[in-house]
Amino acid sequence: MGKRLVVVGSQWGDEGKGKITDYLAEKADVVVRSQGGNNAGHTIKFNNRKFALHLIPSGIFNPKIINIMGNGMVINPFALLEELEMLKNEGIKDYNLYISNRAHIVLPHHIELDALYETIKGADAVGTTKKGIGPAYMDKVSRVGVRISDLINPESLRKRLKINVDSARVILEANNQTIENFEDLYNNLIEIGQIIKPYITDTSVLLNNLIEDGKNILFEGAQGSMLCVDHGTYPYVTSSSPTAAAVPLNSGISPYLITDVIGVTKAYTTRVGAGVFPTEFEDEIAKTIRKIGNEYGTTTRRPRRIGWLDLVVLKHVKRINGLNNLAIMLLDVLTGIEELKVCVSYNLDGKEIDYIPADYFEYERCKPNYISLPGWNEDITKISSFDELPKNCKNYLKTIEDILKTKVTIVSVGPDRKQTVTLKNIF
Ligand code: GDP
Ligand code: IMO
Ligand code: MG
């Protein structure tokens, strides 16, 4: 019987999920993306080549992998075309891709609305990626959304698009903004529908058949658990749930089919966009980390905020996801830092706590309590086994394992596919 492994972002996104998914795809049969849209930016490096994917699953570079875009995604059809075009231009032609007929689509006016809602929030803006993700999920839940299946049914598209555009018009026009010409948009969507028609299917049926056939399935997370609309730092979150719990719903399988969950975590912490971030710091060390780690958003190029590793966050994330493995990423970036701080609890108004307060203002008042661990100076970017890691590096990993009571099964020491050490095979 195959395994069904969820790759979960364990912080605020950009943990290296794309790299790990591409790496693990070697031993998998299927890669599924189940939520989010092109707010995600996943970087993959191999054979001196570098790719950024936003919608298409990171198994796409492996011709034997079946790549699925699940029903819980919100897909911008124009961005999807661009990404398919990028693959073509890069000579990536031999792939298997399937798109759920139940996934919702992101339209140009969702992007306008995203910007508008951010403006209304003023100083309290979320700092979204401005890809229209929130408004597209709003329309889904309001039952005025347009789905992938509509793109290949002209009658259905006309009806659904009309309702969708009319709903958006009310808000945009009240704010002195115009909306795109209906017929132009309709015709463009019909055209795109015909281009992507070969990929569109009922991916729940497909996925369940593959599971029955004993295939190894990899669910590639997007965003991070701290951006979860339920369990994250609300309201500074995304509009979906990037947790393992959301995977069955968003891909059309039973919850009991998930066998493993790997938490992908940086050896430190980053965040893009606004919102509470207790271990954030900005000094020379942070600048070095940003430079060495190339900490600039894959989607928006915004400089990422930098912080020390926060084990209170990881404890919370372990609980809500049921993490049974950890992948520690970008460990090489910490090389040369003399003293490494790790947050083990918070001080909230004089009291020590080890949980994430639900109340946003309470969480903002939390001050991190750190332990200090000795750093290392040895270059670790070329190591090929765990044993080759410097003593202090092993000690850093062991401290994480001991406090979280979770095994580190993958260590990443560079962006390339090859710069990865597996301690225990999941597949
Ligand atoms: P994702 O959104 O979780 O897929 O992560 P991103 O691709 O947005 O950001 C992770 C960044 O770290 C990318 O630039 C990767 O190429 C890079 N990266 C991944 N693993 C490592 C690592 O072990 N070391 C270094 N130096 N970079 C890494
Ligand atoms: P990957 O998959 C990092 C953040 C945005 C913003 C908040 C809401 O690459 O890890 P949205 O556009 O989703 O409404 O923005 O969520 N955000 C991410 N941050 N990585 C991502 O994806 C993100 N996707 C959304 O910066 O703070
Ligand atoms: Mg990213």
pLDDT, tens digit, 9 for 90 and up, residues 150-207: 999 999 999 999 999 999 999 999 999 999 999 999 999 999 999 999 999 999 999 9
Distances in Å between the alpha carbon of 253 and those of 72, 110, 214, 340, 382?
Answer: 12, 29, 14, 42, 40
Known catalytic residues are: 14, 42
Per the CB < 8 A criterion, the answer to whether 369 and 343 are in contact is: yes
CB count in 10 Å sphere of residue 312: 21
Rounded percentage of the chain residues whose pLDDT exceeds 70: 100
CA distance 345 to 352: 7
Task: Calculate the average pLDDT of the chain.
Answer: 97
Q: What average pLDDT score do residues 130-156 get?
A: 98
Say which DSSP state 274 is in.
S
Q: Which residue has the tokens 């430079």?
A: 291
Please give the Cα distance from 269 to 370 (Å, whole number). Answer: 14
Q: Tell me if the domain spanning 105-196 has CATH number 3.30.479.30.
A: no
What's at 308, amino acid-wise?
A: W
Residue 52 structure tokens: 């950024």
Q: For residue 61, report the distance from its CA to the centre of ligand 3, in Å.
A: 18
Q: What's the CA angle centered on 359, arms 357 and 364, to 5 degrees?
A: 75
Residue 28, pLDDT > 90, answer yes
Q: Residue 341, SS3?
A: strand
Nearest CA to ligand 1 atom 1: 14
227 lines ligand 2 (CB under 6 A): yes
pLDDT, position 301: 87
For tokens 């190339």, the residue is 294
Cα distances from 320 to residues 4, 43, 245, in angstroms, run: 18, 26, 8
Mean local confidence (pLDDT), 321-326: 98
Predicted confidence at residue 45, as pLDDT, reads 97
Check pLDDT > 90 for residue 31. yes
Q: Is the CB of 414 under 6 A from ligand 1?
A: yes
Q: From the CB of 69, is ligand 2 less than 6 Å away?
A: no
Ligand nearest to the CA of 414: 1
Residue nearest to atom 8 of ligand 1 (CA): 14
Q: Work out the burial of residue 217: count CB atoms within 10 Å of its CB; fewer than 13 is exposed, 13-18 middle, 19 or more buried.
A: buried
Contacts of 224 (CB under 8 A, 6+ apart): 8, 9, 10, 11, 12, 13, 14, 15, 242
CB under 8 Å to 25, separation ≥6 — which residues?
31, 58, 59, 61, 62, 65, 218
234: DSSP letter: T
Dist. CA 299 → ligand 2 center (Å): 9
Give me ligand 3 centre to Cα 41, in Å. 4
Taking the CB of residue 137, how many other CB atoms lie within 10 A of it?
23
Homologous superfamily of domain range 4-101+211-257: Adenylosuccinate Synthetase, subunit A, domain 1 (3.40.440.10)
Choose among 373, 395, 378: nearest CA to 332: 378
Domain with CATH 3.40.440.10 in the chain: 4-101+211-257
For ligand 1, is residue 57 a contact (CB within 6 Å)?
no
pLDDT grade for 397, boundaries at 50, 70 and 90: very high
- Tell me the per-residue pLDDT of 290-307, one tens digit each, with 9 for 90 and over: 999 999 988 888 899 999
Task: Specify whether the CB–CB gap between 130 and 123 falls below 8 A.
Answer: no
Report the distance separating Cα 180 and Cα 183, nearest Å: 9
Q: Which two three-digit tokens encode residue 150?
A: 């509509």
> Looking at beta carbons, which pairs linking 175-181 to residues 24 or more positions away fall under 8 Å?
175/116, 177/112, 177/116, 179/109, 179/112, 180/108, 180/109
Q: In testing the pocket of ligand 1, which one of 21, 31, 43 has its CB within 8 Å of the most ligand atoms?
A: 43
Of 330, 389, 397, which is best to mutate to test ligand 1, by the most ligand atoms within 8 angstroms of its C-beta?
330
Average pLDDT for 253-272: 98
Residue 305 β-bridge partners: 271
Alpha helices in 4-76 (DSSP H): 17-24
For residues 20 and 275, the answer to whether their CB atoms sit within 8 Å is: no
Peptide bond preceding 235: is omega within 30 degrees of 0, i.e. cis? yes
Question: Range(s) for CATH 3.90.170.10 in the chain?
Answer: 264-422
Ligand 2 centroid – CA 153 distance (Å): 32
- For 264-422, which CATH class? alpha beta
Regarding beta strands 305-307 and 309-310, do their DSSP bridges make them parallel or antiparallel, or are they unpaired?
A: unpaired
Nearest of 102, 323, 328, 112 to residue 202 by alpha carbon: 102
pLDDT at 1: 84
Beta carbon of 332 within 6 Å of any ligand 1 atom? yes
Other beta carbons within 10 Å of 337: 17
Angle between helices 154-174 and 182-196 (to 10 degrees): 140
The span from the CA of 367 to the CA of 346, in Å, is: 5
State the sign of the Cα–Cα–Cα–Cα dihedral 294, 129, 53, 260. positive
Check if 232 has its Cβ closer than 6 Å to any atom of ligand 2. no
DSSP three-state, residue 224: coil
What are 213-252's pLDDT values in tens digits?
999 999 999 999 999 999 999 999 999 999 999 999 999 9
Half-sphere exposure of residue 260: CA atoms within 13 angstroms, side-chain side: 22
pTM: 0.97
How many angstroms separate the CA atoms of 22 and 253, rounded?
22
Q: Where, residue-wise, is CATH 1.10.300.10 in the chain? A: 105-196
Give the burial string for 234-247 (b: 16+ CB within 10 Å, else e): eebbbbbbbbbbbb
Distance 229 CA to ligand 2 centre (A): 11
Both tokens of 262, joined, read 């790997």
